[in-house]
Structure 1
């Protein structure tokens, strides 16, 4: 049975395992941008600070003693400027489910938990970025009701 809970600093090793798998996935997906890393490329203080942020949370999905997924989400506010509407929204920074556990609803449960957390903090929308090469993730987010509002283009230079 998979349970989802907020991460604590003592979860450092579990979090590093999942981020290492995520980093490897990205390195395979986009080698010109990402490279393979060590499991502990994110120092302890970085993870501790991430977990202790007052307007953010990192949820862990666990099956027994094994971490099978995570989501990191935070609250942000757009300034009230003449050309922008002020708004309170959530930003999903990372979502990851172990490849062998995908298709079992864990990602959907992590996203639902993040959505609930964001609503409880007054967010009116959730934003996230996804690499266009990651078609599986694109389809996953679209099935959850996400749609593109900005496209970032890249042109290599000689």
Structure 2
């Protein structure tokens, strides 16, 4: 089950998506309303079960719902598992970032 929680601090809104399983929270995704995925985390014991994919697909739906047409994120070049997930979901690298990170973008 995916739970959405919106958090507003001053003028900034962050949307949290929580994936709940039999052991509690198994994954968390955090996005800002500008269409940037700030973080994705899946508990180690829950990896490989499609939780990251489900959280990302839910994030895409939320972003479309608020009128966004693209989504961006950054990932470290050593994080091969995350890069594979993002590329499988249609993200394309478009700009090398700082400290070994690459910016990715996807059209929704």
Give the TM interval when normalised to the shorter protein.
0.7 to 0.9
Judging changes above 3 Å, is the alpha-carbon distance between structure 1 residues 52 and 65 closer, same or farther for their aligned structure 2 residues? Answer: farther
User: Secondary structure of 2:27's match?
Assistant: strand
- How many residues of Structure 1 are paired with residues of Structure 2 in the alignment? 98
Q: CA deviation at 1:103?
A: 1.1
CA RMSD of aligned residues (A): 2.0
**1 CA distance for matches of 2:98 and 2:5?**
34
Between structure 1 and structure 2, the one with the greater Rg is 1
Which structure shows the bigger proportion of residues in strand conformation?
Answer: 2
| Aligned equivalent of 2:2 | 4
Partner of 2:58: 113
Structure 1 gaps, min length 5:
9-50, 77-89
Distance 1:106 1:152 in 2: 27
Q: Is residue 69 from structure 1 mapped to residue 27 from structure 2 by the alignment?
A: yes
Structure in which a larger fraction of residues adopt helix: 1
Is residue 73 of structure 2 the alignment partner of residue 128 of structure 1? yes
State the SS of the aligned residue for 1:129.
strand
Report the Cα distance in structure 2 between the residues aligned to 1:71 and 1:60, rounded to whole angstroms.
7
TM-score by length of 2: 0.82
Q: Which residue matches 1:100? A: 45
TM-score (norm 1): 0.57
Show structure 2 runs of 5+ residues with no match.
101-108
Instruction: Tell me, in whole angstroms, the C-alpha distance in 1 between the residues paired with 2:87 and 2:69.
Output: 18
